Chains A and B, each alone.
Chain A
Amino acid sequence: MKRLPHSPTQRIDTRHPLPFSYGGRLLEGYRGDTVATALFANGVRIFSRSLKYHRPRGLYSLDGESSNCLMEIDGLPNMRAEQVPLRGGMQVRPQNVVGSPERDLLGFLDAFHWAMPAGFYYRVFHKPYRLWPFFQTLIRRAAGAGTVNPSWEPGRYDELHFHADVCVVGGGPAGMQAARAAAQTGLRVVLLESRPWLGGFYDWRTVEHHGTPLYERGRHLARELESLSNVRVYTSCTATGLYGDNLVTAVQEGGPDDFFHQRYLEIRARAVVAATGCTERPLVFEHNERPGVMQPGCAHRLARTYGLLPGTAAVFSVGHDLGLEAAADLHDQGLHVACVADCRSDGQDPQRIAALEERNIPFLRGWVAARALGKKAVEAVVLSTTEGSATRTISCDVLAASAGLTPLTGLFSLARLPLSYDERTGYFLPASLPEGLYAAGRLVGYDDPASIELSGTAAGLRAAVHCGALDAPRADEALTELQDNHRVLRGSKLVLAPGAGARSFVCFDEDATVKHVRQSVRMGFDVPELAKRVTAIGTGPSQSGIPGHNLPLIMAHLRGESAGTLRPTTVRPPLKPTLLATYAGLHPDIHKKTPLHDVQERAGAVFRRVGVWKRARYFSSDPTCRDEILNVRNNVGILDGSTLGKFRIFGPDAEKALQRVYVGDMSRVPAGKLKYSAMCTEDGCLLDDGVATKLGENDYYFTTSTGRAGATVEWFRFHTRHEDWEYYLVNLTDSLASINLAGPKARDVLQQLTDADVSNDAFPFMGYREFRLKGLVPARVLRLGFVGELSYEIHIPSSMARTVWQWLLEAGRPLGIRPFGLEAQNVLRMEKGHVIIGQESEIRTTLIDLGLGFLWDRTKTWAKTVGAPALQFAESQEGRLKLVGFLVDGSRPPLDGSIVVDGSIRGHVCTCRYSPTLDKAIGLALVDDDLAALGSRLRIFEPGDPPEYFDARVVPTPFYDPEGQRMKC
């Protein structure tokens, strides 16, 4: 198809042909084309088949209002061909057809539309039930549009997160003026435009305003804006979301010169200006989606932007002056315009009517398209008076049809503003806007260029006032001028063409017709939100693109009520379907590494994610960690415990704060010694455990478990929020590393690094000392026994951790030192009967249930200890799950998570391992209290096919070294 001669409105570059393939055929388009316009230029008229009836669907609009042009492009399904810029070498394929879009073998389904009333699938296929799985498979196959492509490799997906003072959505005349007005007050402005260029509906129009063609005016404004250094303009960038506190999200399509394929933007703006304009309100009549039926604006833009005549002979059925303008202009471009029908009985711009008369184009006032004729494409149209009193049939291959305009209110819907019907414009608009959100232009009903631009300026200035960059009176001036001198559009009120029924499509995506809406009302789904659910109207990829504001009007009409009694359904983000790859963006893998990560990795550590951290779990391929365990028991091992929470609390009320959250009496924390204590929830359930030492008066150092480190400051703050206490809490977790040196030879290793006396007398069990290692590295050393051996927890500055780790390894080499990981520690501590929170406890497990009740000091009621009342209450309560140690008959341990049973479920295995130290299978379990007595027999059920049963006996803990001699020696 030959393109029209060059005109300055065109956006294609005929000097740059681009080859691409479509369904195996090699075709050519131009730079500046979209995939759809290039296909159209090559004679493609049927772009897809509809979801249910497999009706042929063509190019209806150019901004993604329907699924008509969904295609597979470069391996990606469901791409909107009318919005994807053409690139050389693109592979384009039709989807959801058996055969080709022109000859679809499922096309016969259209003849059976009567068999598919609204919600028909809820009443068939389920009786008898045994046949349902068969039909289910058929339904699944028939549903769905494109096919997922597992071998698709995404290109580069970028993301931007930034702040702006004013974010303007829509780069038409109103949006550009808003951005300019705001920018002139010195604010940082962002302008988002979904088309590849600014200009909005000026861009293709040659009519003049004050002596300048509108397209020129548009380009002038765009140039002016782009020259402002405090305005960032993003084109091909669609706002997809508007969230609380003006967080705008958008998706930008990368152009041929961009380094990214698509980009996700998150913009936190102080003010947002919505200037999204209008689309054309679909005219609902019989066969209103036949290929050849398109929006007048689509026909106009095909010619003016892409140099394509939409056909040879056209009939226009319009409801606004833009349609009249398009008809006259397309006539001048060489399209035979057989007739223009306007559903409005009056109110047209006399100039536009004169222009039609000059060109001898018949004009029918109060007439409307009632039916498109032709099987695969429009061949003729039946026009009717709006009351249906007379009809006339006219041949054509293009039917440019529209019921008027409809505002693109997606952003308002995202801002959760209720829409109400405006009698003058016929638009659904919010009654008022919240502070920080402003609207301008055609979106709010302004019609002529002067009003549109002035409303943009006013909105931009009001946004500037909101940002504090301008005094209110300045903005009011523009607003007053706007209100005094400019009128808003009087919109057409036509809802349905006469005779609209079973083939008049309300929603193209879901193949839902006026008949379906009528049926839905009859069934009791008589408001849009309910009708949407039963007819699926508006739930397709284009959401409310086609049905949008038509649905409430049609439903009110069917209910015999006046327009505006019902509201449109909610539009939800994203306003434009967006690839998961785009949302995922750069998607960095965020985790914390300890300062010892690399040295452990070199030592063969296998890491696991533990909360925000990666921690070494094994140092060999043996999941039982036998060697690591025995080396700690017999020689000495080192473990990286840097993730442990480490805190200093000080200030006049530090001790009170500790008393509040710890169950123990923290006034009895001695200097130079450690006190083991626990924190509970208000329910008395174990939340955290750790040790504390006193550094000075109201100055303490304490540790928490890895998982609680991040929440500890907030926990203190929350539980002291009503007190007027002064204390300071510093999280030292990341600044200090921790190395656990454990095993009978631990002292021999440590002694080599320090002159300090680390003998058992000078530095006994539960002692706390500060000294320098090799005279250089300041260390806090805690003598603890989590794994049940002589052990030291050495806290040192993170920056020195690797050095100290190496020193320890070197010093310990003759003694057989080697690193051990979390699983070895897990077994070692279990042999000692020490609990790990979350492993041996549930959210309902109290301190007492775990046998740790001795940690609770019941005398300090004055401290209002968190959890103490609950502990008191639950202390002697029967029927609770208790933690017990058990010994398995036989040497194979049941796996963690196996359950304790005796006809009903009586508990579960928390941890169970074969102990290489004791040569026995031992474990910890939470069981009903009547099974908790020493000597009780437990029957353990391990799931499987078949399941396995184990017998075990409740025994005292610790299993290993019950007197604790080894850690105290």
Chain B
Amino acid sequence: MFEPFGRLWKQAPFRSTYDAVIVGGGLHGLATAYYLAKNHGVRRVAVLEKNHIGYGSAGRNTAIVRANQRTQENIPLYDEGLKMWPQLMDELDFNLMFFNCGNLNLAHSEAAMGALRLQVASAQYLGVRSELLDRKQCKELIPHLNISEDITYPVFGGMYHPPGGTVRHDALVWALAKGASALGVHIHQQTEVTGIAVHRGRVTAVETSRGTIHTLRVLNAAGPWSVLVSAMVDIRLPIHVLPIQAMVTEPLKPFLHHVISSGAYHCYANQSLKGEVVTGAHMDPWISYGTHVTAHYIKHQAEALTELLPCLRGVKFMRIWGGLADMTPDMAPIIDGNDPIEGYYMDCGWGYFGFKSAAVTGKYVAEYMATGRCPKILQPFRLKRYEENRLLGETASPPQYGPWN
């Protein structure tokens, strides 16, 4: 065990035919590839990544996992995902560093308590542990929390979700790549998809920067770039790509033992196993593929955090980075296939929830692609719901991203 690893994933020959091609070497793509090979015996699978695996949202998120969403369409999926971490660590023989620290969402008004109550009720009714705490209980949970009245948004209470926590995001990328590669999946980095060939309503091939691949099944798991991949087959996705930022402080000895978040302050924070306080939440209100950061946001975050957790005043920000979120109008993903193009599947529009859902979604999308039938748990996420004006209820209030969402 003290010897270094060999290659985690093999350098594979570039074949001209695969049983399935996955566009995007992020978590959803790698997980789907892994489960196609593992659960369904579909092993001639290629994962195409235009950059390096895990270089997009998979490597830029803040690694929080939880199952306290708002709707019954979402909760079971995330709940199953949450229960998979211990098993995956074992199965992939990789320490994913699942830190089951629990998540506390704060409420700063009567109305926000009502909104959290709805989430707690839904979770409890569906058998997921989640509870409402009053102000004092929040303080007991997080002794550094400021519950005084003289801050911008005084704390009213919170929603505590013990099963949640964090997982080391890069580890998941590598573990899935390792697992998939061991089962025969080919991972091709620096390979950009330039077109998808469709003949008589059926996918026949994928054009790439390294040549043509013949295949009858393609999964669009390209995250923010899924919109562009989809455009190759003339499917328009209601996805807006917005820049999202996060940052870390210098490492400190453990003092924050839960994930804490606040809608009113628009921020969340948790302490990584390495000791850094990881914090984020803000999305820029303009559409962009630039992963830039802004001066405004790092200042905002400092203002918010120093109110909520005054002990952080004497802590230093070390690094801020940007990523992209593929936002749908109802903050729920688009998972669909064979409609209207046979063999064309989509798993995208995950916004900023794509990390926590990756493994479990990959499992079901693999089933979808292997059988051609959409598993029940994924059925609420079909693309047609937008056309039918039936949004999912994951978010209650409109996100204020002007002109005009």
28 interchain pairs, CB-CB under 8 A? A75-B314, A77-B314, A121-B97, A122-B175, A123-B93, A123-B94, A126-B90, A126-B96, A129-B89, A143-B253, A146-B252, A152-B313, A243-B292, A416-B292, A522-B5, A524-B8, A572-B319, A573-B293, A583-B299, A608-B109, A683-B389, A715-B404, A838-B111, A895-B117, A896-B111, A897-B119, A943-B120, A943-B123
The reply on A965 being an interface residue by CB < 8 A is no
Give every chain B residue within 8 A of A880 (Cβ-Cβ): 390
Q: Is the CB of A154 within 8 A of B89?
A: no
Give every chain A residue within 8 A of B398 (Cβ-Cβ): 681, 843
- CB contact under 8 A between A580 and B93, given known A141-B254, A533-B59: no
For the complex, give the distance between the alpha carbons of A805 and B86 in Å: 64
For the complex, give the distance between the alpha carbons of A842 and B251 in Å: 40
Q: Is the CB of B389 within 8 A of A123?
A: no
Can you add 18 more A-B contacts, CB < 8 Å, to A78-B316, A129-B90?
A: A117-B4, A136-B97, A143-B274, A145-B251, A147-B252, A148-B144, A524-B9, A529-B55, A534-B170, A583-B298, A585-B299, A843-B398, A846-B389, A898-B117, A941-B124, A943-B125, A943-B130, A947-B125
Residue of B nearest to A266 (CB): B295
For the complex, give the distance between the alpha carbons of A75 and B314 in Å: 9
- CB contact under 8 A between A577 and B250, given known A78-B316, A123-B93, A127-B93: yes
The reply on A256 being an interface residue by CB < 8 A is no
Give every chain A residue within 8 A of B174 (Cβ-Cβ): 122, 534
Give every chain A residue within 8 A of B306 (Cβ-Cβ): 580-581, 584, 587
Give every chain B residue within 8 A of A895 (Cβ-Cβ): 114, 117
Q: Is the CB of B95 within 8 A of A124?
A: yes
Q: Kindly supply a per-residue 1/0 record for chain A positions 122-157, scoring 1 wherever the CB is within 8 Å of any chain B CB and 0 otherwise.
A: 111111110011001001110111111110101000
- CB contact under 8 A between A523 and B4, given known A572-B319, A580-B249: yes
The reply on B397 being an interface residue by CB < 8 A is yes
- CB contact under 8 A between A579 and B94, given known A523-B6, A942-B121: no
Q: Kindly supply a per-residue 1/0 record for chain A positions 842-854, scoring 1 wherever the CB is within 8 Å of any chain B CB and 0 otherwise.
A: 1110100000000
For the complex, give the distance between the alpha carbons of A948 and B169 in Å: 39
The reply on A430 being an interface residue by CB < 8 A is no
- CB contact under 8 A between A573 and B397, given known A144-B254, A942-B121, A943-B132: no
Residue of A nearest to B114 (CB): A896
- CB contact under 8 A between A143 and B2, given known A152-B313, A843-B391: no
The reply on A162 being an interface residue by CB < 8 A is no
- Give, as a whole number of angstroms, the nearest-CB distance from A845 to chain B: 9
Q: Is the CB of B292 within 8 A of A897?
A: no
Give every chain A residue within 8 A of B321 (Cβ-Cβ): 570, 572
For the complex, give the distance between the alpha carbons of A254 and B252 in Å: 25
The reply on B231 being an interface residue by CB < 8 A is no
For the complex, give the distance between the alpha carbons of A319 and B3 in Å: 35
Q: Kindly supply a per-residue 1/0 record for chain B positions 1-18, scoring 1 wherever the CB is within 8 Å of any chain A CB and 0 otherwise.
A: 111111111010000000
Interface size on A, residues (CB 8 A): 114
The reply on A862 being an interface residue by CB < 8 A is no
The reply on B113 being an interface residue by CB < 8 A is yes
The reply on B339 being an interface residue by CB < 8 A is no
* Interface, chain A (partner B; CB < 8 A): 75-78, 114-115, 117-129, 132-133, 136, 139-141, 143-150, 152, 154, 241, 243-244, 247, 249, 264, 266, 416, 519, 522-525, 527, 529-530, 533-534, 536, 539-541, 543, 570, 572-574, 577-585, 587, 589, 591, 608-609, 617, 681-684, 711, 714-715, 718, 823, 838-839, 842-844, 846, 870, 873-874, 877, 879-881, 895-899, 901, 904-905, 908, 941-945, 947
Category for how many chain B residues contact A: 35 or more
145-186 of chain B: CB within 8 A of chain A: 152-153, 168, 170-171, 174-175
Give every chain A residue within 8 A of B316 (Cβ-Cβ): 78, 541, 577-580
For the complex, give the distance between the alpha carbons of A683 and B330 in Å: 12
Give every chain A residue within 8 A of B54 (Cβ-Cβ): 533
Residue of A nearest to B71 (CB): A905
Q: Is the CB of B89 within 8 A of A139?
A: no
Q: Is the CB of A574 within 8 A of B320?
A: yes
- CB contact under 8 A between A146 and B4, given known A126-B89, A127-B90, A899-B122: no
For the complex, give the distance between the alpha carbons of A578 and B264 in Å: 25
The reply on B377 being an interface residue by CB < 8 A is no
Q: Is the CB of B117 within 8 A of A148?
A: no
Contact of A943 among B9, B124, B252, B403 (CB under 8 A): B124
* Interface, chain B (partner A; CB < 8 A): 1-9, 11, 52, 54-55, 59, 71-72, 86, 89-90, 93-100, 108-111, 113-126, 130-132, 144, 152-153, 168, 170-171, 174-175, 249-255, 264, 273-275, 290, 292-295, 298-299, 301-303, 305-306, 310-321, 329-330, 388-393, 395-398, 400, 402-405
Residue of A nearest to B120 (CB): A943
Q: Is the CB of B299 within 8 A of A584?
A: yes
Give every chain B residue within 8 A of A541 (Cβ-Cβ): 250-251, 316, 318
Give every chain A residue within 8 A of B290 (Cβ-Cβ): 416
- Give, as a whole number of angstroms, the nearest-CB distance from B167 to chain A: 12
Give every chain B residue within 8 A of A144 (Cβ-Cβ): 251-254, 274-275
For the complex, give the distance between the alpha carbons of A580 and B316 in Å: 6
- Give, as a whole number of angstroms, the nearest-CB distance from B314 to chain A: 4
Give every chain A residue within 8 A of B89 (Cβ-Cβ): 126-127, 129, 132
Q: Is the CB of B318 within 8 A of A577?
A: yes
- CB contact under 8 A between A143 and B273, given known A126-B90, A136-B99: yes
Q: Is the CB of B295 within 8 A of A149?
A: no
- Give, as a whole number of angstroms, the nearest-CB distance from A589 to chain B: 6
Give every chain B residue within 8 A of A874 (Cβ-Cβ): 389
For the complex, give the distance between the alpha carbons of A75 and B315 in Å: 11
Q: Is the CB of A573 within 8 A of B320?
A: yes
Contact of A524 among B7, B122, B313 (CB under 8 A): B7
Give every chain B residue within 8 A of A899 (Cβ-Cβ): 118, 121-122, 125
Closest 6 CB pairs of A and B: A144-B275, A897-B117, A583-B302, A896-B114, A577-B316, A897-B118
For the complex, give the distance between the alpha carbons of A582 and B295 in Å: 13
For the complex, give the distance between the alpha carbons of A494 and B190 in Å: 30
- CB contact under 8 A between A530 and B52, given known A123-B5, A146-B253, A577-B317: yes
For the complex, give the distance between the alpha carbons of A838 and B112 in Å: 11
- Give, as a whole number of angstroms, the nearest-CB distance from B248 to chain A: 8
Q: Is the CB of B314 within 8 A of A76?
A: yes
For the complex, give the distance between the alpha carbons of A584 and B152 in Å: 13
For the complex, give the distance between the alpha carbons of A258 and B221 in Å: 55
- CB contact under 8 A between A124 and B1, given known A247-B295, A580-B305, A870-B389: yes
Q: Is the CB of A118 within 8 A of B275?
A: no
- Give, as a whole number of angstroms, the nearest-CB distance from A870 to chain B: 6
Q: Is the CB of A523 within 8 A of B314?
A: no
For the complex, give the distance between the alpha carbons of A536 and B253 in Å: 18
Contact of B113 among A127, A243, A897 (CB under 8 A): A897
Give every chain A residue within 8 A of B55 (Cβ-Cβ): 529-530
Contact of A119 among B2, B5, B250, B390 (CB under 8 A): B5
Give every chain B residue within 8 A of A581 (Cβ-Cβ): 302, 306, 313-314
Q: Is the CB of A150 within 8 A of B310?
A: yes
Q: Is the CB of B320 within 8 A of A143?
A: no
For the complex, give the distance between the alpha carbons of A111 and B388 in Å: 66
For the complex, give the distance between the alpha carbons of A530 and B49 in Å: 14
Give every chain B residue within 8 A of A711 (Cβ-Cβ): 400, 402
Contact of A947 among B8, B108, B124, B312 (CB under 8 A): B124
For the complex, give the distance between the alpha carbons of A529 and B52 in Å: 9
Identify the interface centre among A77, A148, A249, A843: most chain B CB within 10 Å of its CB: A148
Give every chain B residue within 8 A of A147 (Cβ-Cβ): 252-253, 255
For the complex, give the distance between the alpha carbons of A636 and B171 in Å: 65
Give every chain B residue within 8 A of A608 (Cβ-Cβ): 109-110
Give every chain A residue within 8 A of B98 (Cβ-Cβ): 132
Q: Is the CB of B397 within 8 A of A838?
A: yes
- Give, as a whole number of angstroms, the nearest-CB distance from A520 to chain B: 9
Identify the interface centre among B108, B251, B290, B306: most chain A CB within 10 Å of its CB: B251
- CB contact under 8 A between A122 and B251, given known A584-B303, A684-B389, A947-B124: no
